[in-house]
Amino acid sequence: MFKHQLFSSVNRSRQLIIQFISLFCLCCFLVISCSQPQNNPNNTSTTEIKTNRITIGTTLKPRTVDPADAYEVISGNLLYNLGDRLYGYKLGTTELVPQLATEMPKISEDGTTYTIPIRQGVTFHDGTPFNSEAMAFSLKRFIENEGPPSSLLANTVESVETTGEYQLTIKLKKPFAAFTPLLAFSGLCAVSPQAYTTDENKFKPDTFIGTGPYKLAEYGTDVLRLDIFENYWGEKPQNQGVDIQIFSSSANLFNAFKTGAIDVAYLSLDTDQISNLEQESERQGWQVISTDGKTVNYIVLNINSAPLDNKAVRQALAAIVDRNLLNKRVLREQAEPIYSLIPNKFEGYKPVFQENYGDGNFDKAKELLKQAGHSQDNPAKIEIWYASNSTKRQLVASTLKASVEEKIDGLMELELNSVEAATAFKNLDKGLYQTFMLDWYGDFVDADNYIQPFLECTKGSEETGCEAGASQFQGSFYYSDRINQLIEQQRQEQNPEKRQDIFREIQDLLGEDVPFIPLWLDKDYVFAQKNINGVNLEPTQQFPFWTINKS
């Protein structure tokens, strides 16, 4: 009996062991099978895909990614990576090249008709075929939905027509020499006619269906996920996707990069944080990528507000500005002094404020103030306004005030005031501020975009100032019939050299009349971990994601 029970126990033990081994093998098989990627044409494992995704941190939260409504820096850069336009720029240059077009446009002799051949074999993210009708739809929608950037085309374009399945014809209201660069604006990308409608103020803020190298996979409150578009017609991204993490503060972004929680830090670290990362970069192996930006920082002067209605006072204020001191003391060498509204890398740039006033020329300022009738008993009292959330502008304003108190002998007094940025933008054109410190991010790469949006006035006079137009919108109210004529001339001039001569004359008048005082150009910075390759900032201020990869 005992022997039989022992044999039965051993037999049952063997059976349990065999069952356990069989179950273990089955589980292993299922784990291995489930770990294989589904629908992965590159036959790359899920682990490999995950490690080759790039994480970019920023503090800028996009308001929208609808091209007809987007007018912010971060939205524009997202559209740059998600979509394609008729024309773009060769990487590393400001050389225009065809993108969804196959050639540069053929322009009629009168400069008003642009005929553009369209690329074949392109599909949208939703599978819809791309052709000239789709491109015409996208441009018409940009105009007719009447979003913030719509005036870029609405003020210029008469009609957009398809003159062939793969040919587009655009007629302008009048010649505009910078129209081809304008077509490279980030928001003028093709969108699927099946996914969008043309209807005033009808937008899709959290959706994008275009033709670019990435498709928008997720639009969250603090994370955006860009997946590669497998059917992209052009060069495929060197990564397997990009995750954009939005931080609530620059301090959080700074710490996330230092701890390696993100691969790339892009907009907006403050000056001290940038300096810290630069100083530690060699020891930590971090990459520092910077480029001269095209964001002009300036002071707008309300010429209808006393004492700034006197040109000599405006000139005196221009003379007391020491850009090199501001760059060293406040901006920590993270900027470049600028002496015109046109960035200094543009052809036709003329440093008129350097030629006319120099930097910190207090003797000239005192001479001009006395000429305007001011004395210690009758100082020129000027308010300097800035956005309340900008520590940088507060420090710049404080530095200007300290210089005036120390070196101007009581002939001028500066009063510093701040207000919320949103409130300021609503009231600039109402004339509520004597001055305001602002910046301007160019929509497209041409000097016109740094002149016309500041100085053109469509209604006004020398006596009343600007009553309607760009100058009134900026809060300057500057009117010059000669400036208006020159803006019109440069827009029609097809000869590049003659056009630059016109810009130089415009800048001479800007330096003489001083409706604006240019201060500095922001430098753009991106920081990358040491194992990240292909991070570049373009001369156009765009940040291409598709060149980035991990080693």
State residue 205's pLDDT score.
97
Return the closest-CA partner of residue 173 out of 152, 151, 160, 156.
156
State residue 51's pLDDT score.
67
State residue 111's pLDDT score.
96
Beta-carbon contacts of residue 266 (< 8 Å; ≥ 6 apart):
56, 57, 58, 526, 527, 543
Q: Do residues 350 and 381 make contact, with C-beta atoms less than 8 angstroms apart?
A: no
Residue 179's Cβ-count burial label (10 Å; 0-12, 13-18, 19+) is: buried
3-state secondary structure 278-313: HHHHHHHCCEEEEEEEEEEEEEEECCCCCCCCCHHH
Q: Do residues 66 and 82 make contact, with C-beta atoms less than 8 angstroms apart?
A: no
Beta-carbon contacts of residue 381 (< 8 Å; ≥ 6 apart):
307, 412, 413, 415
Q: How far apart are CA 459 and CA 470, in angstroms?
A: 10
Please report the beta strands in 46-105, taking only residues with DSSP state E, as ranges in sequence order. Answer: 54-58, 87-89, 96-98
Q: How far is CA 423 from the centre of its chain?
A: 22
Q: Is the pTM of this model over 0.85?
A: yes
Beta-carbon contacts of residue 517 (< 8 Å; ≥ 6 apart):
298, 299, 301, 317, 318, 321, 353
Tokens of 519: 């201060």
Q: How far apart are the first and last CA of the chain?
A: 70
Coil vs helix vs strand at 99:
coil
State residue 293's pLDDT score.
80
User: What's the Cα-to-Cα distance from 458 to each of 111, 395, 406, 467, 480, rounded to whole Å?
Assistant: 22, 36, 41, 8, 10
Return the closest-CA partner of residue 57 out of 248, 277, 217, 312.
248
Q: How far apart are CA 442 and CA 178, in angstroms?
A: 13
Q: How far apart are CA 84 and CA 452, in angstroms?
A: 27
Tokens of 509: 């008048």
Return the closest-CA partner of residue 449 out of 298, 294, 297.
294
Q: Do residues 206 and 143 make contact, with C-beta atoms less than 8 angstroms apart?
A: no
Coil vs helix vs strand at 244:
strand
- Segments in the chain below pLDDT 50: 1-50
